[in-house]
Structure 1
Amino acid sequence: MFQVLACGAAIVTLSMGIRHGFGLWLQPITQEMGWTRQSFALALAIQNLSWGVIGVFMGMAADRFGAFKVLVGCSLLYALGLAGMAWSPNTTMFALTAGVLIGAAQAGTTYAVIYGVLGRQIAPDKRSWAMGVAAAAGSFGQFLMVPVEGFLINALGWQQSLLVLGVMVLFIMPLALGLREPGFQGSGAAQRGQSIAQAMGEALRYPSFLLLTASYFVCGFQVVFIGVHMPSYLRDHGLSPDVGSHALALIGLFNVVGTYLTGSLGQRVPKRYILATIYFTRSVAIVLFLWAPLSPWSVYLFSAVMGTLWLSTVPPTNATVAQIFGVQHLSMLGGFVFFSHQVGSFMGVWLGGYLYDQTGSYNIVWGISIVLGLLAALVSLPIKEQAIDRPAMQGA
Structure 2
Amino acid sequence: MSIFRFPALVWLGIGILIVSLGIRQSFGIFMMPISEHFQTGREFFSFAIALQNLLFGVFQPFVGMAADKWGSKRIIGAGAFAYAMGLYLTSITTEASVLYFSLGALVGLGLSATSYVIILGAVAKVVPAEHAAKAFGLTTAAGSFGMFAMIPGAHAMLSNIGWQGALQGFAMLCAVMIAFSMFMKSNRASASSAQVAEPEMTLKQALAEAFRHKGYWLIHAGFFVCGFHVMFIATHLPSYLADKNLPASSAALALAYVGIFNIFGSYFWGLMGDKFSKRHVMSMLYLMRTTVIAGFVTLPVTEHTAAIFGGAIGFCWLGTVPLTSGLVRQIFGARYLSTLYGLVFFTHQVGSFLGAWAGGRIYDYYGSYDPIWWSTIALAFLAALIHLPINDKPLRTAMA
Normalising by the smaller structure, the TM-score range is over 0.9
Query: What secondary structure is seen at the aligned counterpart in 2 of 1:180?
Result: coil
Contact 1:63 1:331 in 2 (8 A): yes
Aligned to 1:197: 204
Q: 2:370 pairs with 352, 363, 369, which one?
A: 363
Deviations 1:189-225 (A, max 9, x none): x999322222111111100111011000000001110
Q: 2:124 pairs with 119, 127, 132, which one?
A: 119
1:131 and 1:338 mapped to 2: Cα distance?
15
Aligned to 2:332: 325
Q: 2:18 pairs with 9, 13, 20, which one?
A: 13
**How many residue pairs were aligned?**
389
> What percent of counterpart residues are identical?
35
Counterpart of 1:293, as a letter, is P
Deviations 1:330-372 (A, max 9, x none): 0011111101110000000000000111111111110110111
Aligned to 1:223: 230
Deviations 1:38-68 (A, max 9, x none): 0100000000001101000110000000000
1:364 and 1:90 mapped to 2: Cα distance?
32
Counterpart of 1:304, as a letter, is G
TM-score (norm 1): 0.95
Contact 2:52 2:105 in 1 (8 A): yes
State whether structure 2 residue 219 is matched by structure 1 residue 212. Answer: yes
Counterpart of 1:234, as a letter, is L
2:342 and 2:283 mapped to 1: Cα distance?
21
Query: What secondary structure is seen at the aligned counterpart in 2 of 1:310?
Result: coil
Aligned to 1:266: 273
Deviations 1:216-251 (A, max 9, x none): 000000111001100000001100000000000000
Q: 2:311 pairs with 304, 312, 316, which one?
A: 304
Deviations 1:84-139 (A, max 9, x none): 11123233211111111101110000110001111001111211111010001111
1:184 and 1:82 mapped to 2: Cα distance?
33
2:280 and 2:333 mapped to 1: Cα distance?
21
State whether structure 2 residue 100 is matched by structure 1 residue 100. Answer: no
Deviations 1:127-173 (A, max 9, x none): 11110100011111100111011111111100011011000011111
Aligned to 1:81: 86
Query: What secondary structure is seen at the aligned counterpart in 2 of 1:108?
Result: helix
Contact 1:65 1:184 in 2 (8 A): no
Counterpart of 2:293, as a letter, is I
CA deviation after TM superposition for structure 1 residue 4, in Å: 1.2
CA deviation after TM superposition for structure 1 residue 182, in Å: 6.4
Aligned to 2:54: 49
Aligned to 2:3: none
1:283 and 1:389 mapped to 2: Cα distance?
35
Aligned to 2:387: 380
Aligned to 2:38: 33
Contact 1:225 1:348 in 2 (8 A): yes
2:76 and 2:215 mapped to 1: Cα distance?
30
Aligned to 1:68: 73
State whether structure 2 residue 348 is matched by structure 1 residue 341. Answer: yes
Counterpart of 1:37, as a letter, is R
CA deviation after TM superposition for structure 1 residue 184, in Å: 4.8
C-alpha distance 83-91 of structure 1, shift in aligned 2 (>3 A): same
Q: 2:176 pairs with 159, 171, 175, which one?
A: 171
Q: 2:245 pairs with 232, 238, 241, which one?
A: 238
State whether structure 2 residue 296 is matched by structure 1 residue 289. Answer: yes
Contact 1:3 1:178 in 2 (8 A): no
Contact 2:77 2:182 in 1 (8 A): no
2:260 and 2:303 mapped to 1: Cα distance?
17
Query: What secondary structure is seen at the aligned counterpart in 2 of 1:152?
Result: helix
CA deviation after TM superposition for structure 1 residue 71, in Å: 0.4
Query: Runs of 5+ in structure 1 lacking a partner?
Result: none
1:106 and 1:382 mapped to 2: Cα distance?
32
Aligned to 1:143: 148
2:150 and 2:12 mapped to 1: Cα distance?
18
RMSD value over aligned CA atoms? 1.7
2:274 and 2:159 mapped to 1: Cα distance?
44
Q: Bigger CA drift: 156-165 or 91-100? A: 91-100
C-alpha distance 98-378 of structure 1, shift in aligned 2 (>3 A): same
Q: 1:316 pairs with 323, 327, 345, which one?
A: 323
